[in-house]
Amino acid sequence: MNTHVRWIVLVSVVAALAVFLVVQNRVTAAGARRYVTLQRSAIAPAPRVTIDEVMRPAIDRSVRQGALWGGAVLLAGLGTAAVVSSRHRRQ
């Protein structure tokens, strides 16, 4: 594997990890905001909501979304690396 391809793969892996972390954080934070909203409305005479009822699905959703988007970035980077590698082989 030549240097260009190695760098593309490395950058792709780092970018995919960064995308996963950002997406996972944003979706989890949205779940936390939803919990606060529901808890505030529960102060009124309504059934209370637990943090597990809201955050467990939010965390599951955040990991799935992070993996989906991080995987997409990784596949795009690895596809680019494959194209660059095949071009270098032809030369």
Going residue by residue through the chain, which has 91 residues, state the pLDDT in tens, using 9 for 90 and above. Answer: 688 888 989 999 999 999 999 999 999 999 999 888 888 877 777 677 788 888 899 999 999 999 999 999 999 999 999 888 887 777 6
pLDDT of residue 27: 92
Question: 49 and 38 in contact (C-beta within 8 Å)?
Answer: yes
> Residue 16, class by beta-carbon neighbours within 10 Å (0-12 exposed, 13-18 middle, 19+ buried)?
buried
pLDDT of residue 1: 67
Distance CA 80, CA 55 (A): 37
Contacts of 79 (CB under 8 A, 6+ apart): none
Rounded CA Rg of the chain: 20
